[in-house]
Amino acid sequence: MRVSGLIARWTIALLVVALLGFPSAEAATKPRAVAILPFDASTLDREQQWIGEGVSEIVSLGLAQHPAFVSVDEARVRGGSQTSVWNEAAVGQAARTLRVDDAVFGQVVKSGADLLIQPRLLEVKGAAVEVTVLEPITVPEGELLARLVPLPTAYARTLKFPLSDAEAKRVDKAAQPTRSLKAFELYARAQEAINTRPGQEGNEQAVDLLARAIEADPNFVVAQYTLGSVHQALGNRWKAAAQFRASTQLDPTYPEPYKALGDLFLAQPRRLFDQAIEAYTKAIELRPFYADAYVGLGEARAAKGEVDGAIAAYTKALAANPMNPRVHMSLGKIYYAEKGLYYESVTAYRKAIELDPRSVEARMGLGEVYEDKGLYKEAMEEYKKVIELDGKHTGAMYNLALVYEKVDPKEAMAQWERYITLAAQLPSEKDWVDVARQHLKKLKSQVKE
C-alpha cells in the first residue's frame, strides 16, 4: 500500500485541546458557513454577463475580512450542480446540499440605461429556507466598481455579523481591488473560466485573461495572486512563486500570497519547513482568523515533529472554521497511523468527505484504512471513487490493483496493466512501475498453473 502524505509524531491530546477550543470560539464570533454564488446576469447582453461573476467576487473578497465568515470552497459550490443560472430554487437546493448556513445570490438586470443589482440572502432554517431582499443598487454606466463597494458590508450587516469600524474599513477596502473596470472585467472572466471549466483548459484561459488584467492595472494585487494560484494548479511552481512574491511586494498586508508561498515551500522536494512556517505565520499575523493558514502551519510543524505547535495550530483552525475538510482529513491520518484508532479515523475521514466529496486525498486515506483492516470491498469503493474523480490518479490505481490481488486475481491483472500503461509515461513512477510489473508477472504465472 502506498501511504499518501507525511505522517509525523502526534498525540491524542489534539482531540482534547480542539474540543476545549470550541466553546471559546462559540462565545466570541460564531463562524457561519456561507456559499457565494454568481449573480444571475442571463438577461444582459452576452458581453455584459461577466458582471454576475464580478458581483459575487466583490462580495467574497469583502466578507473574507470578517472572522464570522466561513467561505465554502468554490469547487464544492459549483461542482455538484449543472445549473448556469442561480435562481432562488437552484440556490436553495445548493444550500441544502452543501449544508451551509446561508447563501449569497442575486440578479443583475437592465433598468433603462442603467444596471440594477438586486442582492438576495438565503438562510437555511431546518427544512425551510428564508430569503431576505437587500436594498437594490442602481449602477450608471462606468460606475460599477464604485457602486459595488458597500455591498459586502450590507451583506455582513444582514448576516448580523458584529462589525466594528476597523472591520468595516477592511471590508470596504477589499471590495475595491482595482479602479480599472477593464482589469476587473478580465479578472471576473478569468474566475468564470476557472469555476465553470475546471482543469487545464479553464486554467490556461484564465492565465491569458489574468495576464491581460495585470497589464491593464499592474497594481491589481488580487489578480497577481490569482495568476500565481492558476500557475500552481498547472504545475508551474516557479511562475507561481514569482506571482505570489509580486503580490506581497505590491501589498505587504495581503495575507493570501503568504499562505500560498507556505504551501509551495511545504510541497518542495527539499521540504522547506522553516520557510513554510515563516510564510504561514506572516499570513496569520495579517489575518488572525485565517483557518487555511493555520492548517498549513500545523502540517509544517507536524513535519518538524513540533507536536505542541501543531496542536495549537490545528486547534485554532478548527475554532476559525469547524467545516474545514483539511483539518478532519489530517485528524483521520493521526488517529489511525499514530494511535491505531480505527473508528475515530474513519469518522474523521468521512467528515472530510462529507464537507468535500471531491477530496481525493481524504478518500485515499479512508481507502487505505479500510484496506489495512481487511475491508477490501469498502477500500475498493473508495479507490474507484478517486479514479472517477481523477482518471490519472496513479496512487488509487496502484492501491486498487493490490486489493484486487486479494479478492480477484484476474481483475488484478487487468488493473495492473491499466496502471502500467498510464504510469510508465511518468518518470516519478518508475520504481512503482517496476514493482507493478513484478506483481503482474507473478499473477500471470499463478493463473497459468
Output the nine-digit C-alpha cell for 234: 498547472
Residue 360 · residue 396 · CB < 8 Å: yes
In this structure, which amino acid lies at residue 48?
A: Q
pLDDT (tens place) for every residue of the chain, 449 residues total: 544 333 333 333 333 334 334 333 333 567 899 999 999 999 999 999 999 999 999 999 999 999 999 887 666 666 555 567 888 888 888 888 888 899 999 999 999 999 999 999 999 988 888 999 999 999 999 999 999 999 999 999 999 999 999 999 999 999 999 999 999 999 999 999 998 887 888 999 999 999 999 999 999 999 999 999 999 999 999 999 999 999 999 999 999 999 999 999 998 878 799 999 999 999 999 999 999 999 999 889 888 878 678 778 888 888 888 888 888 888 788 778 766 889 989 998 999 998 888 899 999 999 999 999 999 999 999 999 999 999 999 999 999 999 999 999 999 999 999 999 999 998 889 999 999 999 999 998 887 65
Q: Is the pTM of this model over 0.85?
A: no
Q: What is the DSSP letter of 197?
A: S
Report pLDDT for 271: 79
Report pLDDT for 77: 65
In this structure, which amino acid lies at residue 206?
A: A
Element (H, E) at 223: helix 221-233
Where helices occur in 47-198 by DSSP H, the ranges are: 50-63, 74-79, 88-98, 144-148, 151-158, 165-174, 181-196
What are 346-381's pLDDT values in tens digits? 998 999 998 888 899 999 999 999 999 999 999 999
Report pLDDT for 74: 63
Report pLDDT for 80: 52
In this structure, which amino acid lies at residue 177?
A: P
In which residue are the cell numbers 507536536 written?
A: 307
138 alpha carbon, distance to own chain's centre:
33
**By three-state DSSP, how is residue 252 classified?**
coil
Report pLDDT for 46: 92
Q: Where are the domains of the chain?
A: 31-176, 325-448
CATH fold for the domain made of 31-176: Rossmann fold (3.40.50)
Report pLDDT for 388: 95
Q: Does domain 325-448 have CATH number 3.40.50.2000?
A: no
Own/partner contacts of 120-126, CB < 8 Å, gap of 24 or more, are 120/88, 120/91, 121/155, 121/158, 121/159, 122/88, 122/91, 122/92, 122/95, 124/95, 124/96, 124/100
Residue 313 · residue 319 · CB < 8 Å: no
Report pLDDT for 314: 80
